[in-house]
Amino acid sequence: MKHTCALLLLLVSARIAGAQAPGVPVYAEGRGARPNAVLTEQAKKLQGDSELLSMTKVLEQAQRTQCDIVLPAADSKPLTARERWQRARMSHLRVGQFYICSKCDKWHLDLSGGYVITADGAVATCAHVIAPPPNMKEGWMVAVTEEDVVLPVTEVLACNIGTDCAIIRVKSDQPLTPLPLSLDVSPGDAVWCFSDPDGKRGYFSEGIVSRFVKRPFMTKKEADKLPEGSEVAKPVWLETTTDWAPGSSGSALIDQFGNAVGHVSEIQTVLEESLPARKKKSEATVIQQLGTQMVFHQAIGAVEVKALVKKP
């Protein structure tokens, strides 16, 4: 009986160990995982070797409105589900700041998403992803591969705050996997997103394009700071049913061919109205807030990224 139990335990352990296909990562989560510990040490070394771009330089270079890079042509061969996941994963980078906090004087990593658009290291992301965190004392830009290798960000090639688009340059010893950009997308088309919503690594979600919208990205408060007479940009948005959350910003939205048709920018939640206030004896007024009705997932269209690239 003991031998039988031991054999069953070995079989179960082997099944658990091989639960995923070859090459599929299993992410560590929960107490004691400390996913950023290794990344922080890598970033410290790069910063000590003066290989990182300071946030002061980031803000200066973010004034550039166009760059001269050669984008790969869009693909037209449909990919299998696994091939789409693999391409989305290999082109995905975590992009953000490595900084000293003004509140606690400790090192922090604030990472969102980005996606490679040329093999030599041009990376697209959101303009709001490269903006300094509010509690930053001193900081530098970094990018991180899916293999947990920290790459130096060496330059901001172009940026448009009004369309929430930026293109940066990263330094890598290995060729990177680029996503072609495509504008051939329609409501009803299936789209996928590989991102890290709320810090949950490697989340791959599927949905469809719901509609296209043209509206400002900048708030009225931000627009009021523009020089007098400036026109407020109104980027093209793709609204989709694909899932993402804070932390997904800048991650690519891909089509069935593995082309990037946009990138994650915003989320808008529609809540039910509060129920009328009611009072109980010797109690304060109570207002019941009902739950979420709907969540709009909004991506900036690839046309806005292409607008940052000079035409040949």
On whether the CB atoms of residues 259 and 182 are closer than 8 A, the answer is: yes
Nearest CA among 84, 126, 299, 295 for reference residue 211 = 299
CA–CA gap between residue 141 and residue 229 (Å, rounded): 33
Q: Nearest-5° angle of CA 175, CA 145, CA 171?
A: 50
Quick count: other Cβ atoms within 10 Å of Cβ 215?
Answer: 10
**CB contact set of 304 (below 8 Å; sequence gap of 6+):** 160, 163, 164, 165, 235, 236
At residue 189, φ and ψ (nearest 5 deg) are: -70, 140
pTM attached to this predicted model: 0.88
On whether the CB atoms of residues 163 and 304 are closer than 8 A, the answer is: yes
Written as tens digits, the pLDDT of the chain (312 aa) is 445 444 444 433 444 456 889 989 999 888 877 778 899 999 999 999 999 999 999 999 999 999 999 999 999 999 999 999 999 999 999 999 999 999 898 999 999 999 999 999 999 999 999 999 999 999 999 999 999 999 999 999 999 999 999 999 999 998 899 999 999 999 999 999 999 999 999 999 999 999 999 999 998 888 888 888 888 999 999 999 999 999 999 999 999 999 999 999 999 988 887 666 665 555 556 566 677 789 999 999 999 999 999 987
